[in-house]
Structure 1
Amino acid sequence: MFESITNIRLSITLQPVAGNVVYPPTFAPSESAPKGTPASHNWRPDGSVVLDTPQSQANRIEDAIMQAMRAGVLAYPDIRLEIPGEGTISVLELSHRAYDATLFHGLDANGTAFRHTAAGQALINATPTNATAVFEHAPIQLLVGAWDSHAGRGVLAAKFQRILTGEIVGLDARPIQRTATKIDPLDIRRDAATIYAHTDASIGWTLDAQHAQRDDRDKPVIRKASETGLGNTPSTTERGAIISSARHDLVLTATAVRRLRFPDPDTGALDPARDRAGQDAALAFGLYAISLLLDSGYNLRSGCQLVPEDEPQLELIGRTLKQIEHASIAEAHGWFTEAMKNAAKHGLSWRKEPIVLHASPDLVGVIAKSRELAGIATED
């Protein structure tokens, strides 16, 4: 299906929905920065500013897949962790995907830890040259990568590189500042009374020292009115950028996909036709994931809503940039359906039912302790 393709590229020109001002994400200073260095935007020497990082794009792709799964549009092989008082978490919401440390304490219906189950063991032992289990149980990892970094296996730990990379930047960017002030209609003054932090976080504050939180010297903890949300908030500064336009670049690296192998799980035998079918399915899944991402729109954050200028066109790149074919992203679903059917003919298919796990007592306990420290009560 994609025999002569080395890379698939998509470059979309975007405009802010209103005006030409956007508010980029802020990033914490590096560990080597002087103490007190404020968070800042990622300005680049070419005059652009980062509006969405590759890491954020990976999370948005996972969210788009999860929404399609929940809507019944995509039969994705989910792994779900049920936590009392917290609800159910999908593997698509976990930072390290199927290798997330949270799943170390996920138990199946028999009380077996996930990583000791057949699926868990297969994922632990997976490699790019033995990717059958990842295809079956965690195909998102073939697109955005994954690393079993908490396994304690060193260089033997499962690791998959990201083959689908995206980024959004604002072009011809210039920094601006906007000030904002909160006005309290009750006009509660700063020195109206001595306000204490309440022992009940849901109440927040009190005038009665008997109900106040206590410090290390057993003194009631005093709060400023502004710290409790009362009174006027002085002028604050939001840092944004004026841009001429924005560009969304996405690259799906077919050459990296061609390194994947999908041996028979029973015999370990390799079949070039089976490998090719799995590789094509991974690429087609990547294109379908891109289409789901684009369908979800560009509401990146408050003050940063973008819209494409035109319908996006895929560039299917051959061995050189002089060998480019164009295609519509609208074809992605058809390619995905065809590729998955062909993979199934070679014995490669996604798991049909979700794996449902429940949190171990230790995981439940540490979550409860964390909520207690935050002053948040959990449901029984």
Structure 2
Amino acid sequence: MTTLNLETLNQAVSGAVAAIRCNVRLQPAGGPGDKVFPPTYVADDKQNPLKYAHETRRIGGQDVKVVLLDSVASQANRLEDALRAAWEAGQLDFPVVGVDFGSEPGLEDLGLLTTLQTPHRIADALLRDAFWQPSADQAPVPFRHSRDGEAYTLASFKNATAVYRLCPTALVFGVWDSTGPRGGLGSKFQRALVSEVIGVDFSPGVKTASRIDSAAISSGVPIYHLAGDDSDWTLDPVEAEKDKQGKPILYKSSKEQSTGKASAINHSNFRPSKDFTAGGVTFDYAQQTTVLSLPALRRLRFPVSVDGSAIPTASRAAAESAARTALAALALAAIALQRNQGYDLRSRSLLVPESATPLAFEFISSEGGEPITYTVTTQQVLDLFKAASAAAAQLGFAWQRAPLTLKPMPKLVSLIRESRKLAAKSETEAAGSA
């Protein structure tokens, strides 16, 4: 069995390997042929009203219909979530930036939202609308006006040290600072790690729905909007909201088509229905394909160390290679950790590996040919990451575990609070159509 160690990974990152690939073949937890529900999208094609993303791909020399079960963006979020869990548990040490809502009344549940959770990582608007405070006796400044914020703003693939120091996951999963001070010219780093899950040779199904009201409530009883509270209802016309002619207004939820019926307030029977546009799918098998592009990492330059000092020319090649290897090890750790978390993609979309095969990384040579396969355990990958980050630290690229913690601006706090109020009102109004 070929052993994957730090020397092997460093040689691969230095140029011997074009990509590291990991393929996992999956089946529904209920067994082959069990129905799975993919993510839904707006159906904008009248000739093809299916709400799933599907297409024809060439597989094994044949045209095969495939359906998207988990997108590249969704997979990135799951990989980052796996890293977040390991970071919080102390299994991995690497930098994150976070906005702390823990001291904001009513928003304590948000806690510390880090760059492993924000959609645009270090370029996210949550960080843009947050303060950094150097010390208790110094005034807070907007993050983008701080030393670290300005360093990120000016970062590029020609000098990516600031991103490596503050948010290395942005160099793995990609980031574009398109809404920052430089607009479309803001720092942009391509995804190095890409993953996707598809269902191969799929057939769409049908979803049924119905409900029998246990209290036998009739849909013929008129229901009115309660005066003074648009989200509540009443049977009494006297208590009802009135129109300009003084007539009681029949109740209608935000989604219910009919008005004044008990179904609008989630009572009475629901007529059995069939949905052919999002009725789930069956398939031969599901395939997760994950690829780490090493050329994407090799494009990154690190002319200065994390403390800002220039790296001597004689040692720069080794230092840059060590930094890139640490990023590659971080990506491999994300793959291993996500596999441990499993493939529970959403409701009625639980997948499991088709066979009990260990985690394997395929190293694809830059010169082509058959890949070299390394079979590893999660612990071996975590140990590899620790070795790679330690080696990078010795050459000027040490990572700090303690997060760079920001405080939300008052306007951001107000925006979230008002958004929650609006969401709560909308949920109440929509409850009748559930």
TM-score of the superposition, structure 1-length normalised?
0.89
Residue in 1 that maps onto 2:270: 233
Identity, % of aligned positions: 33
Choose 45-54 or 323-332, whichever is displaced more.
Answer: 323-332
Residue 5, structure 1, aligned to residue 28, structure 2: no
Pair 369,213 (structure 1): closer, same or farther in 2 beyond 3 Å: farther
Residue in 1 that maps onto 2:199: 170
Q: Which amino acid aligns with 1:315?
A: E
Q: For the Cα contact (< 8 Å) 2:213–2:267, is it kept in 1?
A: yes
Q: Which amino acid aligns with 1:319?
A: S
How far residue 29 of structure 1 moved from its aligned partner, in angstroms, is 3.9
3-state SS of paired residue (1:92): coil
How far residue 114 of structure 1 moved from its aligned partner, in angstroms, is 1.1
Pair 199,333 (structure 1): closer, same or farther in 2 beyond 3 Å: farther
Deviation string, structure 1 residues 169-225 (Cα, Å, up to 9, x no partner)? 111111111212133222222122314268668x75444678777889997461243
Pair 213,258 (structure 1): closer, same or farther in 2 beyond 3 Å: farther
Residue in 2 that maps onto 1:71: 89
Q: Distance in 2 between matches of 1:328 and 1:245?
A: 23
Q: Distance in 2 between matches of 1:373 and 1:216?
A: 27
3-state SS of paired residue (1:93): coil
3-state SS of paired residue (2:65): coil
What residue ranges of structure 1 are gaps of 5+ in the alignment?
none
**Which one of the candidate residues 169, 179, 182 is aligned to 1:150?**
179
How far residue 226 of structure 1 moved from its aligned partner, in angstroms, is 2.4
Pair 206,93 (structure 1): closer, same or farther in 2 beyond 3 Å: farther
Residue in 2 that maps onto 1:332: 381
Residue 359, structure 1, aligned to residue 408, structure 2: yes
What residue ranges of structure 2 are gaps of 5+ in the alignment?
1-9, 57-63, 134-138, 253-260, 427-434
Residue in 2 that maps onto 1:251: 291
3-state SS of paired residue (2:280): strand
Q: For the Cα contact (< 8 Å) 1:175–1:240, is it kept in 2?
A: yes
Choose 90-99 or 233-242, whichever is displaced more.
Answer: 233-242
Q: For the Cα contact (< 8 Å) 2:92–2:382, is it kept in 1?
A: no
Q: Distance in 1 between matches of 2:227 and 2:287?
A: 48
Residue in 2 that maps onto 1:272: 317
TM-score of the superposition, structure 2-length normalised?
0.79
Q: Which amino acid aligns with 1:311?
A: P
5 Å-filtered alignment, 1:118-267, equals 118-196=147-225, 204-207=232-235, 220=249, 222-223=251-252, 224-236=261-273, 237=275, 238-264=278-304, 266-267=308-309
How far residue 11 of structure 1 moved from its aligned partner, in angstroms, is 0.9
5 Å-filtered alignment, 1:289-304, equals 289-304=334-349
Residue in 2 that maps onto 1:342: 391
Residue in 2 that maps onto 1:316: 363
**Which one of the candidate residues 105, 111, 115 is aligned to 1:91?**
115
Q: Which amino acid aligns with 2:271?
A: P
Pair 216,93 (structure 1): closer, same or farther in 2 beyond 3 Å: farther
Residue 44, structure 1, aligned to residue 55, structure 2: yes
Deviation string, structure 1 residues 80-119 (Cα, Å, up to 9, x no partner)? 2233222322222211111111212111234211111222
Q: Tell me the number of residue pairs that the alignment of Structure 1 and Structure 2 aligns.
A: 373
Q: Distance in 1 between matches of 2:55 and 2:386?
A: 40
Q: For the Cα contact (< 8 Å) 1:199–1:211, is it kept in 2?
A: no
How far residue 268 of structure 1 moved from its aligned partner, in angstroms, is 4.5
Choose 191-200 or 133-142, whichever is displaced more.
Answer: 191-200
3-state SS of paired residue (1:172): strand
CA RMSD, Structure 1 to Structure 2 (Å): 2.7
Q: Distance in 1 between matches of 2:227 and 2:362?
A: 59
Residue in 1 that maps onto 2:29: 17
Q: Distance in 2 between matches of 1:213 and 1:152?
A: 50
3-state SS of paired residue (1:119): helix
How far residue 267 of structure 1 moved from its aligned partner, in angstroms, is 4.0
Q: Distance in 1 between matches of 2:80 and 2:240?
A: 43
Q: Distance in 1 between matches of 2:346 and 2:420?
A: 27
Q: Distance in 2 between matches of 1:103 and 1:239?
A: 39
